[in-house]
């Protein structure tokens, strides 16, 4: 054994009674009650105990019980010297009982000290205590030496087996606590992940809908400042109202997505493109059902890309390509470019960040940047 094994205390879980099964607790109570009954029986059935002697015997038994209880507390607290002192007190009580001709009580106390020391003390301290207790037991036992030796060895083995059993129980309790902590952390992580997913859905819906409304409302404001025709202003306001209605529909769709209810991706893209001027969609490859997360990523990236086109290149031609591959789905949104819109500098720049975050969470990728004629957004999601 290593030095650490010799000086290490049994764990508090091993020394305590927490998580102990009902039958084990009942057995412990029965054993303690039996030992206490034998102590009282051996004390009060002796013929030489009379009068005040009985009071002294009762006081001795009570002192042994108090010392045993205190020993349980000090060993549980891993206090070595108080524990050794209490072992000494119990052995002195046993020696006094032997001197007063209470042989059975003395033998019980010495045997109890031998077993308890091996069960509850560090081995470096338990072995001397056990050796001393068994030596005193052997010195006063009048059985043949072979029986005495077998009994002493059996008591030592019983104490060590109880120690191993307690350590195994303590290890099981620690593993159980760790498993509960891991499950709690996993539940908290799942809750945070779900909150992040809901936050992304809300952000994407609001960013798409409100940005589109802002484009038309800002255009209406500029038209009013320029004293434009009433019909032009009304057209912008009506368009903003339509965007608000679309945003409400998208919010309902996002809630349906959170419940796992989604319209087919192809239908969604066609509706999205039909609502945008100068946009067309192409779908290639063998169509297949996608997971909710992958489908939502494609939908939101398409929405965000088209919103950016309206903001930064109004009037540009847009081509949307959805391609089903063997191991991934690709979405490419490419615009023909154009002069920056009046709201080209608006926004906090979180759209591309949110799209890239969606892709990376699914193990995919997103690339966005200018090209010769305009701007391109390319999403790849594994399936």
Q: Which CATH number fits domain 263-383: 1.10.357.10, 3.10.20.740, 3.30.70.580, 3.30.565.10?
A: 3.30.565.10
**Nearest partner of 40 among 102, 120, 129, 118, judged by Cα:** 102
More confident site: 92 or 21: 92
**Res. 7: pLDDT tops 60:** yes
* N-to-C CA span, the chain: 54
pLDDT digits (tens, 9 = 90+) for 17-39: 766 666 766 766 677 777 667 66
Within a 13 Å sphere around the CA of 313, how many CA atoms are in the beta-carbon half?
A: 19
What global pTM score does this model have?
0.49
Q: What is the mean pLDDT of residues 187-193?
A: 78
Residue 305: Cβ-neighbour burial (10 angstroms; 0-12, 13-18, 19+): buried
Query: Domains of the chain: which residue ranges?
Result: 3-142, 263-383
**Nearest partner of 120 among 73, 152, 85, judged by Cα:** 73
pLDDT digits (tens, 9 = 90+) for 66-76: 998 999 899 99
CA geometry: angle 242, 247, 248, nearest 5 deg = 100
pLDDT digits (tens, 9 = 90+) for 108-145: 888 889 988 998 899 899 999 999 999 988 888 877 88
Report the range of poorest mean pLDDT among 78-92, 234-248, 324-338: 234-248
**Res. 46: pLDDT tops 70:** no
* Most confident range, picked from 151-160, 221-230, 241-250: 151-160
Residue 22: Cβ-neighbour burial (10 angstroms; 0-12, 13-18, 19+): exposed
* Most confident range, picked from 26-40, 64-78, 239-253, 308-322: 64-78
pLDDT digits (tens, 9 = 90+) for 161-171: 988 888 888 88
Q: 118, 126 in Cβ contact below 8 A?
A: yes
């Amino acid at each position: 054994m290593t030095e650490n094994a010799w000086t290490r205390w049994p764990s508090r879980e091993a020394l305590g009674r927490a998580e102990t099964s009902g039958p084990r607790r009942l057995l412990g109570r029965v054993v303690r009650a039996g030992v206490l009954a034998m102590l009282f029986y051996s004390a009060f059935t002796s013929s030489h105990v009379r009068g005040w002697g009985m009071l002294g015997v009762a006081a001795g038994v009570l002192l042994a019980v108090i010392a045993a209880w205190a020993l349980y507390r000090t060993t549980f607290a891993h206090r070595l010297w108080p524990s050794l002192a209490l072992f000494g007190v119990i052995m002195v009580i046993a020696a006094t009982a032997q001197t007063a001709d209470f042989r059975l009580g003395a033998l019980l106390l010495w045997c109890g000290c031998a077993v308890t020391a091996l069960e509850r003390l560090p081995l470096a301290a338990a072995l001397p205590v056990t050796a001393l207790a068994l030596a005193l037991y052997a010195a006063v036992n009048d059985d043949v030496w072979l029986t005495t030796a077998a009994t002493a060895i059996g008591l030592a083995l019983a104490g060590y087996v109880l120690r191993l059993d307690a350590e195994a129980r303590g290890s099981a309790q620690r593993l159980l606590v760790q498993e509960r902590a891991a499950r709690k952390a996993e539940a908290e992580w799942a809750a945070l992940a779900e909150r992040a997913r809901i936050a992304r859905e809300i952000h994407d819906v609001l960013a798409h809908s409100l940005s589109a409304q802002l484009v038309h409302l800002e255009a209406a404001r500029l038209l009013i400042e320029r004293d434009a025709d009433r019909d032009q202003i009304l057209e912008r306001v009506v368009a903003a109202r339509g965007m608000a209605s679309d945003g409400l529909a998208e919010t309902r769709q996002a809630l349906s997505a959170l419940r796992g209810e989604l319209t087919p991706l192809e239908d969604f893209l066609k509706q999205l493109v039909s609502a945008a001027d100068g946009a067309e969609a192409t779908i290639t490859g063998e169509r297949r059902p996608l997971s909710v997360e992958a489908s939502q990523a494609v939908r939101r990236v398409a929405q965000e890309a088209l919103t950016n086109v309206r903001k930064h290149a109004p009037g540009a031609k847009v081509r949307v390509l959805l391609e089903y591959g063997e191991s991934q789905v690709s979405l490419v949104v490419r615009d023909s470019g154009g002069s920056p819109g009046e709201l080209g500098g608006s926004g906090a720049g979180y759209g591309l960040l949110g799209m890239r975050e969606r892709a990376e969470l699914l193990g995919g990728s997103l690339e966005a940047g200018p090209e010769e004629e305009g701007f391109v957004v390319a999403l790849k999601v594994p399936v």
